[in-house]
């Protein structure tokens, strides 16, 4: 997925005893047109993040039942949300974001992909003012928690998630974990600099610097109550997943949809996806269905 130098980097990261301080995002709400354009491009079907989104979409699908109402916190341009909505056409999704520009991009994404089971709303994930208690069957948030300004905002988000989620609801939260070495941050941000824009490389590095530590994320996730399992990419926390127990087995129709989406990916995306799936499998997070 990232080349032969990844394993030595991860081992050095694992052995490091020092900890880097968090560097919050310069702008907590992404509004810059160049940043948004780079992010949108990376997340499209042919983008460098598509395989990651597909992995998370499969994991989320194991939580979503037909008829469910699902809240996506900080949905951004909806590239991730489109993949989830395609796999779950009988569920209803609410994509929430605080950036008006991102919501404009999300509307364009939904229109381009002909997705009709998603509504978009403007809002702050630390204060879900228009969502009633226990209103959501599932809550998801993918790679967005690092945009929060501080630990107080992270804790507030967790408390709001618990408030709006039904007692038997599904939960999937994933974000970067903060590395201990600046060299590890630079490695992951630059590993594919030949295939990504300079703007995306810069934003990726800043996102890694803004990540909360595993300890900080875990302490916040404890506010969600029991039944949430944490999964870390082995050796180093490039990604940290908090997931509730699966709420369904993927039926034949959903598995067919998943295989169809997988077959549309390029050979290179297949390899990246399988590498990521293998990495997470080592942490105990298996795919909910076979794709071959």
Q: What is the 3-state secondary structure (H, E, C) of 243-272?
A: ECCCCCCCCHHHHHHHHHHHHHCCHHHHHH
pLDDT in tens, 151-170: 999 999 999 999 999 999 99
Distance CA 145, CA 172 (A): 12
Residue of 103, 45, 46, 99 whose CA lies nearest to 77: 103
What are 69's strand-pairing partners? 92
Give the pLDDT of residue 5: 77
Residues above pLDDT 90, as percent of the chain: 84
What's the pLDDT tens digit per position in 230-249? Answer: 999 999 999 999 999 999 99
Whether 209 has a pLDDT exceeding 70, the answer reads yes
More confident residue, 261 or 32: 261
pLDDT of residue 185 exceeding 70: yes
- For the whole prediction, is pTM greater than 0.75? yes
- Residue 29: is its pLDDT beyond 80? no
Using pLDDT thresholds of 50, 70 and 90, give the confidence band for residue 1: low
Q: Which CATH architecture has domain 6-281?
A: 3-Layer(aba) Sandwich (3.40)
Identify the CA nearest to 60 among candidates 172, 166, 228, 174.
172
Average pLDDT across the chain, whole number: 94
Distance CA 97, CA 112 (A): 19
- What pLDDT sits at residue 32? 74
Domain ranges of the chain: 6-281
pLDDT at 28: 65
- pLDDT on residue 2: 65
- What does the pLDDT look like over 55-107, one tens digit per residue? 999 999 999 999 999 999 999 999 999 999 999 999 999 999 999 999 999 99
- pLDDT interval class at 33 (50, 70, 90): confident
Q: Is the dihedral of CA 261, 267, 272, 275 positive or negative?
A: positive
Over range 135-150, report the average pLDDT: 97
Q: How confident is the model at residue 46 (pLDDT cuts 50, 70, 90)?
A: confident
């Amino acid at each position: 997925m990232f080349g032969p130098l990844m394993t030595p980097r991860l081992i050095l990261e694992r052995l490091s005893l020092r900890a880097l301080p968090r560097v919050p995002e310069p702008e907590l709400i992404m509004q810059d047109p160049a940043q948004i354009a780079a992010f949108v491009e990376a997340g499209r079907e042919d983008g460098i993040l598509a395989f990651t989104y597909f992995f998370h979409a499969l994991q989320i699908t194991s939580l979503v039942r037909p008829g469910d109402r699902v809240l996506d916190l900080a949905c951004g341009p909806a590239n991730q949300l489109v993949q989830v909505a395609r796999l779950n056409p009988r569920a209803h999704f609410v994509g929430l974001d605080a950036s008006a520009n991102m919501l404009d991009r999300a509307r364009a994404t939904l229109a381009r992909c002909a997705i009709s089971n998603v509504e978009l709303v403007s809002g702050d994930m630390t204060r879900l003012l228009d969502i009633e208690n226990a209103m959501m069957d599932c809550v998801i948030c993918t790679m967005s928690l690092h945009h929060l300004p501080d630990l107080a905002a992270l804790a507030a988000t967790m408390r709001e998630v618990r408030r709006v989620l039904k007692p038997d609801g599904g939960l999937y939260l994933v974000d970067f974990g903060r590395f201990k070495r600046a060299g590890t941050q630079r490695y992951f941000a630059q590993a594919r600099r030949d295939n990504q824009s300079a703007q995306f490389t810069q934003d990726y590095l800043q996102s890694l610097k803004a990540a909360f530590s595993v300890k900080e994320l875990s302490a916040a996730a404890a506010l969600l109550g029991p039944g949430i399992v944490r999964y870390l990419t082995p050796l180093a926390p490039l990604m940290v997943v908090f997931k509730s127990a699966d709420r369904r087995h993927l039926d034949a129709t959903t598995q067919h949809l998943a295989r169809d989406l997988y077959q549309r990916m390029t050979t290179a995306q297949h390899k990246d996806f399988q590498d990521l799936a293998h990495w997470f499998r080592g942490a105990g997070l298996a795919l909910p269905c076979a794709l071959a």
